[in-house]
Every structure is written in structure tokens, then in C-alpha cells.
């Protein structure tokens, strides 16, 4: 539909990111401030505003703390000037109010917003056009009068009016008793010609004519079509007396919850058979949806002797009930010339309408539109949500036309694959690719229920790849990057076509349906060529930077996102295996495997990532063996080696990263020497030097670390001087200064460390101001504040400044943890900053506050260890917090609690050291924990165990100091251990051993005092 508004990709991403973060913040049980989530710039801000306000309304009503529409309009004047937006808000609030107050009507809003009276009346009438006539399903708008049964007496002589079921802008539905036949009926009537437009009158007549022609047990039956004369009027108005269904609407029964696959298939099979009966009479419903399916209890609908209160319970099995299709108000006769609807008119309910309806092509709507709607109903029954649902009508319409639905199995893995295939065939964008008839759909569902092979063909690998990119707008840039992976397939397309043709030809000769097989082949090849052509176009625009930036702005991938990515990669890997061995094919295959490795690493698929990297590395080795001047292969090999190094680091094998980083360093240096103007090569060189510097620092190799980090800084300064410093270079410069600060601190140069941290903070603050929506910038800034706080607290003894630094970090990390609750690292880092703040409070003798802060951190970390028991970093943080809290308990003389916490922490550290005996940080922290445990045991008068704890702590510290004599903190902590052990030995009467401790202590002090 040409009039449908669309967003640019970046604006779409910013809006969706804002809404997702806002929803995540609401789920944390903390009331977020809406203004903080508005994306900067237009059109993203305007597009996100209405959706954010609607989200805010929904959550506030859920928590019984609603905010009036007028309040939102005061806060956001741009909304107040948009009548359409205000009307949308009114209708949404009305729906929310009616959940708790069924008597609420739109008349209340007409009084509050009199300038919108006409628009609200029109919207109310339009919403009523598709409403059910059951009592539960109807909510009156309050715009018409005459709600009591009394004034209707005598209007229709053969009927006794019992109660009003509901009313709208033009009509009313009554429950009545047909006197002659003694049965309940539903009477739908026009109240006033002046309140009904010509189009509405035509739709009313269309419903009467359509229903009158249909006789099917699963379609509401019409008993009589007639007219009545309102008092004081000369104009007769139509009415319909139809079957009264005593039950509930299907949408109320489902209530957003999935049904069982078998029950869903059985129900839609019945509906498909019913609607096929209408199609055979030349009638297309055009508004099939769960709200237009009534579920009745057998034996309760017709006889006046049955209980009028009998209702289908949500807990009642649908197998015991009778579904009835109703509301043919939008029905179209196929032989009709279309005069009733204008070209371009939007006919139907957006979440369930077919794309051709969404485009306003009402004259060309065929039974295929109802098949689509049945697929949408099946989708909702299986997943608990319709295939498309935007926050506005036009957003939903845009999704229906342009977006592929998320597969049902991605939302509900228990959905059988065959049933998913049936559902998705119904939801094809092209009418010609759906089931030819509703009867065909019913037959395939029957086959599924009988466990027979279905006729629908599941989508193939290449088609799935292309559909994935259409149905994931939240990661649109990532999807574009993924399309690039199909590049490897370009070189083998011809080969695959020939192979596929041969296979199909052989199969056709072996089967009687040769013609159909060939038609399938032509269709599949056309689809594949179409998808690959789109991929070629995407390749011209994307790069790995797109992937990185997508992850930096949308760091949280849902399980559905991950499943799609993994399916994409599996399909691609299968395709790539069949490529030939030409140079071009190997280049493309190597590029594809390199991308697979990076994405697998992002998804946490370590084994698959390692295997993909190895394939890419081997291919590039071969290519460079044939042509050592192949810069493309050399650059890619360097990138892959860097990825392999990062993978080894993150999986607890830091020393295993060195050969990969050194390999990358050699390739990047050669690229930079061959072409000094190659900025990408120099960036890669700088990043690899950074990686090596930080790896050396983590292993306590300070001189090597300082050497690599200074080299990285020189490269980055060179890029900055040449005005090639984009955000990536600026981020790397900030990282380099932060790492230099850490190394300087470990070397005892505290003023240099403070200077480096302050420089890094300044650079990161610039990045945050330039890209406030990028969570990575905020995360890195918080980490540097934490490092500065550690320096100020422990080394510079500046407790007040340290507390300020830690609080700055927490101020950044708290909203990050709320915005992205699924990102474990954000929770981990927040807990780490709380831990550090508690250390300040402990140092300033605020022990009660320190205990509270540590318990807050402990709660986060215990939850992380429970969720991710195989991630060493989380157990490490838990151990550190337990050790710190144990120290606080020791200071408060709560010795039993102190010993318990310190022993638990020591057990954590022992497990960590057993898994990675070479990582020095574990031993350093365990030694501190044991030292505190020794003090607690000493205060408990358990001198023997205190000696054991102090001796073990001393042994660890001496080992660390021997391996890294330049690390000042190792020397300082060893001194403390010797002092503590000497004290315990003297109390035990071991004077000789205590004297040896004193001598060792003096030797250490003398050595450290030498220049």
C-alpha cells in the first residue's frame, strides 16, 4: 500500500531499541522514566514516542497506577497537536479501563475531549463493526441510547426482547425469544438511519444476505431478515434474527496463551471446512479472526429452557464445544462488482488480514484471503500471539505487507514441524503460494491429525535465509551482514543448479508426477535466484563493522534471534561444503567461515566457532601459499587469528591466545609495511597490540604489557593525526589509556596510573555524548571509573574520591542492567561496582552500610552462578564478594559469620584454581581470603588453624612474588602475610619459627628499598 508510512533502517532500529529497553526496564519492577528512553533525532524520536507512551500506559494499568492521557499530552506537546495519536491513546486507554470497569464507555472521553467527538464516534462505530454479539464479547460505546428492553416491546411482534447484549455507533444486538418456536435468538438491528452511513447500511445488508445463503453447523445461522419502523420515523431499518450462541469468543478463551498443537489443528480444521462452505457459495468472509469465532457449549444455545448463564469455560476442552463463525459484515460475494468497497479501502482486521487486503486491493480479494486468516488464527492458537501486531494500525499493516512472521517453533518449540509448515503455507505473502482452497487446508490438517505425510512443502535452506532477514527488523543491520555470508554460495550457484536439476530429473523419471517435479524445480530456482540477487545487492553495502555496530546497539539477542542465526549458519555450512576448489570459490568460502566463526563466538557456540575459524585459517594459508601478495587473504587470516586469540582468552586459556595474537600481529605488520596508508591494517595492528598488552598484564608480565600498550598507543595516535580517527579508533585509544593505567598501578606508579585513567574517562565521556544510545560506551566508561576508584581507595588512600568514582560507575551500570536484564555481564559488572563501594564503606568504618551493599551484590552474583554454573568469571565474582563480606563480618566481630563466608569463598577459589592453575589473580585473592580467615580464627582462639591459614596464604604470595617480582601489590601482601604469621607463631610459643618470619620480612623490606 503506497500510503503506508515506512521507517529508514536506522530510525527503525533506534525506535525498536528504545521500546525494548523501556519494556525491559518495566519488567525489573522499577518504574522507569519514559523521557530517558526516547531516542535522539528525527524521525526516530517521533516514531518511538507514541509507542513508548502506549507501553507506559499498559504497564501502569497493570500495576494499578494509571496516568491520565491529559498528563501525557502535557509532558509531550507534540502528541497534543496530533488528533490521530490522541484518538489512538483514548481507544487504548478505554480498552485498559474496561478490563477493570466493563461499564466504561467512549462517552466519557467525548466529554473530556469534545473537539474529538466526531472522530471518536467514527472510531467507535468502526470498532463495533466486527464485534461479536455474545454478551461477554461486546463492550458498549455509550454513543447510542435505548439500553433497556422495555422500549423495544412491540417493535417486532414475533419476538420477546430479553436483554441488550451490546451496541455500537449504528446498531444494537439483543437477546430475544422467538415466540412461535420458543428459542433464543440474537437480533441485530440498525437503530437510526441518521447514525449509520450508506457504507455501514450496505455492510449490514451484506451480512444479512451472506448469512442467509449459508447453511453450515459451524457458521452462525440466520433465521430471518426483515425491517422495522422506529417510533416517529417514516424510514424502515433492517434487522437480522440469527442463531444465539451462548458461549465465549475464541480470543477470550485463548487470552494470549498457547493452546495444544492437536487442539489447535482440530479447531482450525473445523473452521476451514466451514469457511469452504461459504466459499462454495461465492462468499469470502474477509474478517476471520479469533474474535469472530464463538465457542458454544453443546445443548445450551437454542432452547429457551436451557440456562441463559451457561458459558463455555476457559478450562473446558474445545473438543467438547462447537465453534461458530460469525460476523460476515465485511463479506464479499465473488460475483459482486466491488461497488460496496472503494479501491484502496482497508477492509478487515490488520493482524489477520492478508497482504492483498492490507494494500487496499479489496476488489481482488479471493478465498485465499480467508485461507491466510485461518493461518493467522492457527498461528495465534499455537503461539499465543498473532503473526503481526504493531502498536498502531499502520505499523501492523506495514508488517503484514513487508515482514515475514517469526516461525511458530521459534516461539513455541513444542509445535510439530508439519503443523508449522501448514501454518506458514497459509501465511505466504503471495496468494498463489497458499493452499488453493480452504478445503485443501482442512485436508492437510486432517492428514497431520492422522499422522500421515502432509502435502505442504517446507521452506528450503536458501529461502529460509532470505525470510529470516525480512522478519527480524530489530536486527536489520545484522541481517544485512548475514546475507553477505551467502556470498560463498555465489561461486557454487551454477554447480548447485546443475546438481539440483539432475536430482530432480532423476526423481521425475522415477515418478509419475514428472511435470509437477519440473514445475517445482523452476519455482525453486526462481526463488533462489531472487534471494541471491538481493544478497548481491546487500554485499555492496555491508561489512563486519555493520555486525559490530548492530551488536553494540542491540547487545541482547533473544533465544529466537539466536535460533534463527544458528539455523542460518547450519544451512550455509551445508551449502558451502559443495563448493569447487577454484581460487574465487576458496576466497568466498574462507570469508564465509570467518564470518561464521565470529557469529558463533557471539552466540557462545565455542566448538563451532573454533572449527569455523580453523577452516578459514587453513583456506587462507593455502591461498597465501599460492600467492604471498594476496592482501585479502592475509588481512582475513589476521582477523581470524585475532578472533581465535579472543576465543582462547574467553574460554579460560589465556596462554593459548599468544600464538594466535602473534600470528595476527605478523600479518598486520606486513600489510602496514607494504601500504602505510592502509588505515584498516593499522587499526588491526593497534587492536592486536592492545589485546597482547592486556593479556600480558592479566598474567602479571608488566614490562611486556607496557611495551605492547605503548606500541598500540603510537599506532592510534598516528591514525588520529591523519584524521582517520572514527569512533572505533577513539574507543581503542580510550581502552589503551585504561590498560596503561592498570599496568602503571600494578607497577606502583600511582600518579601515572591516575593520569591515564582520567584521560580514558575523558575520551569515553566524549563517546557517550556522541552516541548516548550505545551501551558499550557507557559500559567502558563505568569500568574505567571503577579502576580509578580502586587506585584512589587502595593506593592513594583517597576514600572520598574513590566513593565518588564508584558511585559514578554504579550510576551508569544500574540502568544498563535494567535495560538489558538478559545480559549477564551487565549484572556482573554492577555487582562488582557494588562490591567496590562496599570496600570504601568498610575502609571508612561504615560497616553496616558495607554489609548491606555487599549483600546486594551477593544476591546478583549468586543468581548468576545459579544460571551459568559453567562460567568461571561468575564464580570468581561470587568468591570475591563472599571474601569481602567475610572481612566486614570480621570487623563487626561477628566471627561465626565471618568464618563461614571466608570458608565458602576459599572453596570457590580452590575450584577456580583447579580449573585454571596458572591464572595469578585467583591465588592473589585466595591468599587475602585465607589471611582474613587466619585473623578470624585467631580472634576465636583457634591458634593452630590460624597458623595453617596464614602459612597457606604466605606460600601463595611468595609464589606470586617469585613469578612477578615487579608487581608492588604482591610484595605488599607478602609483607602482611609474614607479619600475621609471626604474630600467631609467637602466641603459640614457636619463637624460632617466629624469628625466621621476622628475618624473612627484613630481607624483603631491604630488597624493596633498593633502587
Nearest C-alpha neighbor of 753 from the set 783, 787, 721: 787
Grid cell, residue 907, equals 572453596
Cβ-proximal residues to 613 (8 Å cutoff; 6+ apart), any chain? 593, 594, 597, 640, 643, 644, 647
Give the 3-state secondary structure percentages of the chain, helix then strand then coil, rounded to 5. Answer: 65, 5, 30
Pair 369, 354: CB distance under 8 Å: yes
Count of C-beta atoms within a 10 Å radius of residue 914: 9
Count of C-beta atoms within a 10 Å radius of residue 2: 6
Pair 38, 18: CB distance under 8 Å: yes
H or E element that contains 983: helix 968-987
Q: For the chain, how big is the Rg over CA atoms in Å?
A: 36
How many Å apart are CA 699 and CA 960, to the nearest integer? 10
How many Å apart are CA 281 and CA 213, to the nearest integer? 8
Pair 853, 834: CB distance under 8 Å: yes
Catalytic residues: 287
For residue 908, what are the CA distances in angstroms to 711, 874, 921? 37, 10, 13
Count of C-beta atoms within a 10 Å radius of residue 416: 16
43 cis-preceded (ω within 30 degrees of 0):
yes
How many Å apart are CA 701 and CA 889, to the nearest integer? 35
Question: If you ran DSSP here, which 8-state letter would residue 152 be given?
Answer: G
Count of C-beta atoms within a 10 Å radius of residue 23: 16
Pair 559, 413: CB distance under 8 Å: no
The DSSP bridge partners found for residue 183 are 178, 303
Biggest CA–CA distance in the chain, Å, is 122
Nearest C-alpha neighbor of 780 from the set 821, 744, 732: 732
How many Å apart are CA 497 and CA 318, to the nearest integer? 48
How many Å apart are CA 159 and CA 98, to the nearest integer? 31
How many Å apart are CA 600 and CA 594, to the nearest integer? 10
Q: In a 3-state reduction of DSSP, which class is residue 241?
A: strand
| ∠ Cα 863 866 869 (to 5°) | 130
For residue 990, what are the CA distances in angstroms to 347, 994, 997? 95, 6, 11
Cβ-proximal residues to 645 (8 Å cutoff; 6+ apart), any chain? 657, 658, 660, 661, 664, 691, 695
Give Cα 1008 to chain centroid, integer Å: 54
CA atoms within 13 A on the CB side of 678: 18
Grid cell, residue 287, equals 474478517
Provide the pairing of β-strand 247-249 with 293-296: antiparallel
Amino acid at each position: 500500500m503506497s500510503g503506508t508510512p515506512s521507517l529508514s533502517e536506522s530510525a527503525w532500529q533506534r525506535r525498536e531499541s528504545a521500546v525494548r529497553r523501556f519494556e525491559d526496564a518495566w519488567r525489573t519492577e522499577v518504574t522507569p522514566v519514559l523521557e530517558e528512553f526516547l531516542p535522539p533525532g528525527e524521525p526516530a524520536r517521533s516514531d518511538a514516542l507514541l509507542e513508548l507512551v502506549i507501553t507506559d500506559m499498559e504497564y501502569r494499568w497493570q500495576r494499578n497506577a494509571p496516568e491520565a492521557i491529559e498528563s501525557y499530552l502535557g509532558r509531550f506537546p507534540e502528541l497534543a497537536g496530533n488528533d490521530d495519536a490522541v484518538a489512538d491513546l483514548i481507544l487504548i486507554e478505554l480498552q485498559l479501563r474496561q478490563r477493570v470497569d466493563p461499564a466504561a464507555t467512549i462517552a466519557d472521553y467525548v466529554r473530556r475531549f469534545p473537539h474529538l467527538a466526531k472522530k471518536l464516534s467514527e472510531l467507535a462505530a468502526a470498532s463495533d463493526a466486527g464485534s461479536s454479539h455474545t454478551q461477554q464479547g461486546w463492550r458498549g460505546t455509550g454513543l447510542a441510547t435505548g439500553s433497556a428492553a422495555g422500549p423495544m416491546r412491540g417493535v417486532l411482534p414475533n419476538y420477546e426482547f430479553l436483554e441488550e447484549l451490546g451496541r455500537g455507533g449504528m446498531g444494537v444486538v439483543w437477546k430475544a425469544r422467538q415466540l412461535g418456536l420458543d428459542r433464543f435468538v440474537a437480533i441485530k438491528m440498525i437503530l437510526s438511519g441518521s447514525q449509520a452511513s450508506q457504507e455501514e447500511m450496505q455492510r449490514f445488508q451484506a451480512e444479512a444476505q451472506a448469512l442467509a445463503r449459508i447453511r453450515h453447523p459451524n457458521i452462525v445461522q440466520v433465521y430471518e431478515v426483515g425491517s422495522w419502523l422506529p417510533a416517529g420515523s417514516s424510514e424502515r431499518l433492517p434487522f437480522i434474527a440469527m442463531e444465539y450462541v451462548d458461549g465465549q469468543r475464541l480470543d477470550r478463551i485463548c487470552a494470549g496463551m498457547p493452546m495444544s498443537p492437536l487442539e489447535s489443528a482440530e479447531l482450525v480444521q473445523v473452521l476451514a471446512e466451514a469457511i469452504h462452505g461459504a466459499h462454495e457459495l461465492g462468499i469470502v468472509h474477509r474478517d476471520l479472526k479469533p474474535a469472530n469465532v464463538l465457542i458454544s457449549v453443546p445443548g445450551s444455545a437454542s432452547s429457551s429452557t436451557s440456562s441463559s448463564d451457561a458459558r463455555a469455560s476457559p478450562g473446558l476442552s474445545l473438543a467438547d464445544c462447537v465453534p461458530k463463525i460469525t460476523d460476515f459484515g465485511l463479506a464479499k460475494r465473488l460475483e459482486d462488482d466491488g461497488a460496496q468497497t472503494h479501491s484502496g479501502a482497508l477492509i478487515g482486521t490488520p493482524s489477520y488480514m492478508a497482504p492483498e487486503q492490507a494494500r487496499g486491493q479489496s476488489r481482488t480479494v479471493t478465498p485465499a484471503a480467508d485461507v491466510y486468516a485461518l493461518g493467522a488464527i492457527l498461528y495465534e492458537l499455537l503461539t499465543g500471539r498473532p503473526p503481526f501486531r504493531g502498536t498502531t494500525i499502520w505499523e501492523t499493516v506495514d508488517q503484514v505487507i513487508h515482514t515475514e512472521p517469526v516461525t511458530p517453533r521459534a516461539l513455541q518449540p513444542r509445535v510439530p514441524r508439519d503443523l508449522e509448515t501448514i501454518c506458514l503455507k497459509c501465511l505466504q505473502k503471495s496468494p498463489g503460494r497458499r493452499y488453493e482452497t480452504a478445503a485443501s487446508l482442512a485436508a492437510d490438517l486432517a492428514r497431520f491429525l492422522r499422522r500421515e505425510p502432509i502435502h505442504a512443502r517446507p521452506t528450503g535452506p536458501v529461502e529460509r535465509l532470505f525470510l529470516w532477514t525480512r522478519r527480524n527488523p530489530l536486527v536489520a543491520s545484522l541481517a544485512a551482514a548475514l546475507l553477505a555470508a551467502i556470498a560463498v554460495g555465489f561461486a557454487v550457484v551454477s554447480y548447485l543448479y546443475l546438481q539440483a536439476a539432475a536430482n530432480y530429473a532423476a526423481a521425475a523419471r522415477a515418478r509419475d508426477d514428472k511435470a509437477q517435479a519440473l514445475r517445482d524445480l523452476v519455482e525453486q530456482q526462481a526463488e533462489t535466484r531472487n534471494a541471491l540477487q538481493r544478497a548481491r545487492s546487500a554485499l555492496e553495502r555491508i561489512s563486519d563493522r555493520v555486525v559490530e555496530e548492530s551488536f553494540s546497539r542491540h547487545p541482547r539477542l533473544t533465544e529466537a534471534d539466536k535460533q534463527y542465526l544458528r539455523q542460518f549458519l547450519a544451512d550455509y555450512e551445508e551449502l558451502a561444503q559443495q563448493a569447487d576448489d577454484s581460487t574465487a570459490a576458496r576466497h568466498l568460502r574462507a570469508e564465509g567461515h570467518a564470518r561464521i566463526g565470529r557469529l558463533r563466538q557471539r552466540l557462545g557456540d565455542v566448538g563451532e566457532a573454533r572449527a569455523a575459524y580453523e577452516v578459514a585459517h587453513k583456506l587462507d594459508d593455502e591461498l597465501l601459499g599460492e600467492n604471498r601478495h594476496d592482501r585479502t587473504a592475509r588481512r582475513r587470516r589476521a582477523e581470524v587469528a585475532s578472533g581465535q586469540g579472543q576465543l582462547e582468552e574467553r574460554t579460560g586459556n589465556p596462554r593459548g591466545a599468544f600464538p594466535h595474537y602473534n600470528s595476527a600481529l605478523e600479518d598486520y605488520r606486513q600489510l602496514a609495511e607494504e601500504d602505510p596508508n592502509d588505515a584498516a591494517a593499522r587499526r588491526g595492528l593497534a587492536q592486536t597490540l592492545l589485546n597482547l598488552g592486556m593479556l600480558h598484564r592479566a598474567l602479571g608480565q608488566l614490562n611486556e604489557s607496557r611495551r605492547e600498550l605503548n606500541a598500540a598507543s603510537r599506532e592510534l595516535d598516528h591514525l588520529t593525526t591523519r584524521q582517520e580517527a572514527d569512533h572505533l579508533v577513539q574507543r581503542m585509544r580510550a581502552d589503551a589509556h585504561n590498560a596503561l593505567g592498570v599496568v602503571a598501578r600494578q607497577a606502583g606508579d600511582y600518579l601515572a596510573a591516575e593520569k591515564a585513567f582520567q584521560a580514558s574517562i575523558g575520551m569515553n565521556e566524549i563517546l557517550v555524548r556522541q552516541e548516548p544510545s550505545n551501551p558499550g560506551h557507557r559500559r567502558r566508561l563505568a569500568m574505567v571509573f571503577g579502576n580509578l576508584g580502586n587506585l584512589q581507595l587502595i593506593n592513594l588512600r583517597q576514600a572520598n574520591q574513590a566513593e565518588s568514582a564508584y558511585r559514578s560507575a554504579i550510576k551508569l551500570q544500574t540502568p544498563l542492567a535494567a535495560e538489558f536484564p538478559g545480559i549477564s555481564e551487565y549484572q556482573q559488572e554492577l555487582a562488582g561496582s557494588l562490591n567496590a563501594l562496599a570496600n570504601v564503606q568498610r575502609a571508612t568504618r561504615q560497616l553496616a552500610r558495607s554489609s548491606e551493599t555487599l549483600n546486594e551484590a551477593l544476591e546478583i552474583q549468586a543468581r548468576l552462578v545459579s544460571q551459568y554454573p559453567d562460567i568461571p568469571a561468575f564464580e570468581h565474582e561470587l568468591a570475591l564478594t563472599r571474601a569481602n563480606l567475610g572481612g566486614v563480618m570480621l570487623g563487626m566481630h561477628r566471627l561465626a559469620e565471618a568464618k563461614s563466608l571466608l570458608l565458602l569463598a576459599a572453596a570457590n577459589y580452590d575450584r577456580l584454581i583447579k580449573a585454571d592453575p596458572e591464572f595469578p589473580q585467583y591465588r592473589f585473592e585466595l591468599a587475602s581470603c585465607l589471611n582474613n580467615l587466619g585473623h578470624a580464627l585467631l580472634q576465636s582462639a583457634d591458634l593452630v588453624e590460624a597458623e595453617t591459614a596464614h602459612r597457606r596464604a604466605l606460600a601463595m604470595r611468595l609464589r606470586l612474588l617469585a613469578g612477578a617480582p615487579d608487581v608492588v601489590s604482591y610484595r605488599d601482601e607478602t609483607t602482611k602475610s609474614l607479619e600475621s604469621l609471626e604474630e600467631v607463631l609467637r602466641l603459640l610459643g614457636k619463637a624460632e619459627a617466629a624469628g625466621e618470619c621476622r628475618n624473612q620480612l627484613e630481607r624483603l623490606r631491604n630488597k624493596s628499598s633498593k633502587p
